Structure 1
Amino acid sequence: MTTTARTEGLGTDDAVSEGDGLRTGCRGIPSLSARLEPWMRELLADPTACAALLEEHGSPLNVHDFGALTRNADELTAVADSEGVALRIFVARKANKTLGLVRAAHAAGLGLDVGSHRELSQVLDLGVPADDVVVTAAIKPAPLLRLALDSGAMLVLDNLDEAAAVYAEIAREPLDPPRPVALRLAPTPSDVVGPTRFGESASSWQSWAGSREGSRDGLQIQGIHFHLHGYDPLARAHALGEALGLVDALRSSGHPASFIDIGGGIPMSYLDDAEQWAAFWEAHDHQSDDPTDSLTWRGEPLRQVYPYHQQVVRGQWLRTLLGAEVQPGVRAADALQERELELRCEPGRSMLDGCGMTLARTVQRTTTSDGIPLIGLEMNRTQCRSTSEDFLVDPILVRTGGEASAPVDAFLVGAYCIEAELILRRRLRFPGGVAIGDVVALPNTAGYLMHILESASHQIPLASNVVRGPGGIRRDRIDAVPPQRPWTDAAGD
């Protein structure tokens, strides 16, 4: 396809900051303006480069720049240091499948949290030391357990059946030296902490640790882990208090527990403007019943979405947690210091904040039979979606096509043969219209949104992934890793 790069039609819009031409071609109704990293602005301001990337790699395309990863991690580390707490961060690999993330995390001195046999084998093949890997997979088949034990990666035991499976592996092939494990605690449900499918009670783990299995020479209980739904720091503090009690009990029984891992759930904010977020929900809750005019698709309410604007994120969130009481009159930070315990965490989304965006090509402009305007993109809805119902950030329209349509308020739809095949479930305004071949950019999608639910249904290929770095933009190789490949020359091909 031949493309003509142009920037006309980017006029002033009262819903965006004056002079921000990137935001005037498309906005939500009402706007939810994404935070854009400098590298995103640079690329999106170059229509020729955007069009060339899609020509070379196909649509949609996930573009990454992991420069923000270190900044995001440093925000947490600075708070922990100020509280006198030793913090170790393991980046959640499940949040983004690129090998570029593994390289960037390792180069930044961060660990990797893996959730499958393939994730574990990939990070080990890329040269990440086993000491920098934690295996937290919810389901651990025998091959994954064996690889974790053979490598010496930190293995988080989720339940008693899993512990028995590890015992069976050790019985078949004894291990020397002992392999490190952590026990996943299911905190007692309360007004603060909800029920969870993950882990066992403190009493169950105490009994197991004192049993023949738990005291075998091949294993060493080095820590306690928990995994909670949601983002409430006070819920984490409540669970941390219970984990401290389990650590004390294990230590009194001779187990060298040295850390508590609070899992993920460290929040970030996609939007800087709290007023925009409030205005969106006000409009959402009072939207029209007319499907040709409603804010969301046919007026259907959004019930489960990520909190795209949050005041307390990353560093402030961790400070709140460390300052919370875990025992009467005892702050979390002080309890950890007193026991010389390391605090560990496994953030994904908040570490990948600012590290990627998704580009897609416009291929059609049409309407439903009852008059709802649609803009068809060369992608599908699984390629920008997490477990949340929608991605609530305004796209960016990059003019790379031919003649634009008239101004239009429309929904973005994708390639699957489903009536509600919506890329976003809210109506968007295109004041200058849309042209076939224009590029639509979905900002800040690196954390979960690109990969967690992506599907190749209809045998449509999955999106390609590229990584932007000092040597330019290079394709990320995901499907295969050459064995024993040197770390230094594994730069994203």
Structure 2
Amino acid sequence: MLISRQRHERPKAGARPFALTALRHPAVSKLLTDHRTLLADLLDGLGSPLHIVLPEVFEENVRTLRRAFTEAGVVADILFAKKANKADCYVTSAAALGIGVDVAGAPELVKALAGGVSGRRIGVSGPEKDDALHALAVHHDCIVAVDSISELRRLARTARDARRQATVLLRCRTAGQPSSRFGLSADERRAAVGLCGELADHLVLRGFSFHLNGYSPAERATAAHEMIEHCLDARRCGSLSAELVNIGGGLPVRYVEPWLWNEFVAQNEPAQYHTAKDFEEFYPYGGQPADQAVRALMAHPVDGGESLSAKANRYGIRFVVEPGRALLDQAGFTMYRVQQVDDRRDSDGYAIVTVAGSSFSLSEQWFNSDYLPDPLLMSAGTGADQPFPACVAGSTCLESDMVTWRKIGFPRPVRRGDHLVYLNTAGYQMDSNESPFHDAPLPSKVVLRLGDDRDGTPPRWRLDGIR
């Protein structure tokens, strides 16, 4: 089934009060509409919760992001941020498309290599990496982002012992976030550049990177401009190979329509949540699509009105970008089986739907927040439309194990044996916080390849990690 260039289905306005109807990729809509039996059989056979991963959508996102950088007139190397999802299939797709992978530990690096990604396309980040990870990275010619002078010295020793050169990015604190625990201060940066010159037999300085919270293209453009200036300073000090600026991830994803999100934010209050829980902040679910953010980022004026892209091109700077969530947009969803319904509408005004599984498999609570897009209710039978407000709980013995704290306005009563589908969960939600609590097995991931309507080919599935 051809899925590129297709548009997301738009939710209908005014469907129900406080509804946050999730956008759906056409491929996801087709699976939920035409292949419900297959999905139900997979959930019943492999257990609840179950993660469905869609590498074809991931591949489409890669092409879209590549096109955005090309249209912005810059050269950018895309590294998939492995931490966003542990599924092997995404790394395999990355290798097939010729993009790299960003890793922060030896297990992720080994999986990236095993998935077919060349070491030269692997970036190794994370603060104060250990010597074993350094050795593996040096052996495979990975690009290592270094956070401190002490780590830089250790990396040089590792490269010397291996009789190789380590390829280095210096991660620096930005003017906008000077108190970040990641990166070098201005004085440390200057010392590190000098050290790279002294140890040129063992270290090759390729450029600079930074860590930045938030999703503002303007803030990221400003930080990237700082790194370009660092490259120019390093060149003046003799590091002529300083040509890379790693702008990190932080590309936004749109889960719901902006007007719907703005309406929700304007009316949000603790009464909408179980036990009137009050959250301080949420992910910006109605944000700008990633490709639009790239164009805004590259067009942002940084130096006397010159755009970031123009300045990069003028000085021969290549960008490195490490999207995780943005490449996983719509590339997976999570299914739960309803285990019990405690109907408290007469006393509390809403029900508590308990699912087989826990909130560890929908990891927004890791960020002390709630995953807000509405889950879909899939019922075996049919029933009359009847608004059914309910929150969703996990089946552990923890009061805090709430899959969805927010009261969802389900279109009809939820019953034991029904299925709930949480859309667009591949980016950070599936396994950032997974746990075998209560000796429960970790949820399975099913890789679904879409069929072809033209010849009647059905979807094909396999467990992730099994080929």
Aligned position for 1:175? 163
1:96 aligns with 2:85: yes
- Paired amino acid for 1:182: L
Deviations, residues 51-88 of structure 1 (Å, cap 9, x unaligned): 20012211101001122223323333323223321111
The partner residue of 1:379 within 342, 348, 357 is 357
Distance in 1 between the 2:416 and 2:385 partners? 9
CA distance in 2, matches of 1:476, 1:400: 27
Deviation at 1:395, TM superposition (A): 0.6
Q: Distance in 1 between matches of 2:414 and 2:11?
A: 19
SS at match of 2:214: coil
CA displacement at 1:404 relative to structure 2: 10
Contact 2:196 2:205 in 1 (8 A): no
Q: Does 1:301 align with 2:278?
A: yes
CA shift, 1:170, in A, is 3.2
What is the aligned partner in structure 2 of residue 85 from structure 1? 74
Alpha-carbon spacing, 1:212–1:385, altered in 2? closer, same or farther (3 Å): closer
User: How large is the Cα RMSD of the aligned pairs?
Assistant: 2.5
Say yes or no: does 1:65 pair with 2:60.
Answer: no
Instruction: Quote the offset at 1:203 in angstroms.
Output: 3.2
Which residue does 1:350 correspond to in 2?
A: 326
In structure 1, C-alpha distance between the alignment counterparts of 2:179 and 2:282, rounded to whole Å: 20
- Checking the alignment, whether the CA contact within 8 Å between 2:127 and 2:146 is kept in structure 1 is no
User: Aligned-pair distance for 1:35?
Assistant: 1.0
**CA–CA distance in 2 between the matches of 1:151 and 1:134?**
11
Aligned equivalent of 1:318, options 288, 294, 302? 294
Code of the aligned partner of 2:461: I
Distance across 1 between alignment mates of 2:27 and 2:237: 53
Pairing 1:260–2:245 present: yes
* 1:107 to 2:107 alignment: no
Relative to structure 1, is the Cα distance of residues 367 and 157 closer, same or farther in structure 2, using a 3 angstrom cutoff?
same
Counting only pairs closer than 5 Å after superposition, residues 64-213 of structure 1 correspond to structure 2 as 64-171=53-160, 173-176=161-164, 178-189=165-176, 193=177, 195-211=179-195
Q: Separation in 1 of the partners of 2:275 and 2:194? A: 58
- Change over 3 Å in CA distance of 1:170–1:361 after alignment to 2: same
> What do residues 277-336 of structure 1 show as CA deviations (whole Å, max 9, x unaligned)?
122123313x6xxxxxx31122222212100001x3322212222122222233211110
Corresponding position of 1:363? 339
Asked whether 1:245 is paired with 2:221, we answer no
CA contact (8 A) 1:209 1:215 kept: no
Change (3 A) 1:108 1:119: same
Q: CA deviation at 1:388?
A: 5.1
Give the Cα separation in 1 of the matches to 2:123 and 2:102. 5
1:262-284 CA-to-partner distances (Å, cap 9, x unmatched) read: 00101111012x22212212331
TM-score, normalising length: structure 1: 0.84
Q: Which amino acid aligns with 2:123?
A: V
CA distance in 2, matches of 1:252, 1:100: 43
Cross-structure match for 2:443: 463
Note if 1:271 corresponds to 2:227: no
Shift of 1:406: 7.8
TM-aligned CA deviation for residue 257 of structure 1 = 1.0
Equivalent of 2:429, from 443, 449, 473? 449
Structure 2 equivalent of residue 233 of structure 1: 217
Report the secondary structure of 2:422's partner residue. Answer: strand
Correspondence for 2:30 among 17, 29, 42: 42
Question: Aligned match of 2:18 in 18, 21, 30?
Answer: 30
| Higher relative contact order, structure no. (Cα contacts within 8 Å, ≥ 6 residues apart) | 1
Counterpart in the other structure of 1:339: 315
Aligned residue in 1 for 2:12:
17
Query: Measured at CA, do residues 250 and 212 of structure 1 come closer, stay the same or move farther in structure 2, by a change above 3 Å?
Result: closer
Count matched residues: 444
Contact 2:354 2:392 in 1 (8 A): yes
Deviates more, 1:103-112 or 1:393-402: 393-402
Identity over aligned residues, as a percent? Answer: 29
Distance, in Å, in 1 between the alignment partners of 2:440 and 2:191 is 51
Alpha-carbon distance in structure 2 between the residues aligned to 1:77 and 1:50: 32
